[in-house]
Amino acid sequence: MNQALTVLELAAADVLAAKSRYNELHPGLGNDFALCVDEALARIHRFPLSYAIIDLDFRRVLVRRFPFAVYFRVNRQQITVYGVFHNRQNTDAWRRRGQ
């Protein structure tokens, strides 16, 4: 079954904020970050159940080249992305978003 992939607005805002910070550090780096997040989302969409459950029914995939992770849930109809966070950031936010 091919579930729909939904990225919550807060998760999309996470990506935009990080992209902006990376572009401030080095022009174009934010665009590279966004491409790597897109690639992570494609991996999630293609093989959502291949990622281990890390807490309750949340799963996580690491973003290549950048110290970020995408937090998501899978059910029969859809895959929902709750957050894209730096690995050192307090990740309780994705738990709160999933309540």
Confidence at 89, pLDDT banded by 50, 70, 90: confident
pLDDT of residue 61: 97
Compute the distance between CA of residue 61 and CA of residue 51 in angstroms, rounded to an integer: 7
Residue ranges per structural domain of the chain: 4-97
Does 1 have pLDDT greater than 60? no
pLDDT of residue 85: 94
Q: What is the separation, in whole angstroms, between the first and last Cα of the chain?
A: 25
Q: Which CATH number fits domain 4-97: 2.160.10.10, 3.30.2310.20, 1.20.120.420, 1.10.10.10?
A: 3.30.2310.20
Compute the distance between CA of residue 90 and CA of residue 13 in angstroms, rounded to an integer: 16
Cα torsion 49, 82, 6, 22: sign: negative
pLDDT, tens only, 6-64 = 999 999 999 999 999 999 999 999 999 999 999 999 999 999 999 999 988 999 999 99
Confidence at 96, pLDDT banded by 50, 70, 90: confident
Compute the distance between CA of residue 80 and CA of residue 13 in angstroms, rounded to an integer: 15
Compute the distance between CA of residue 14 and CA of residue 1 in angstroms, rounded to an integer: 28
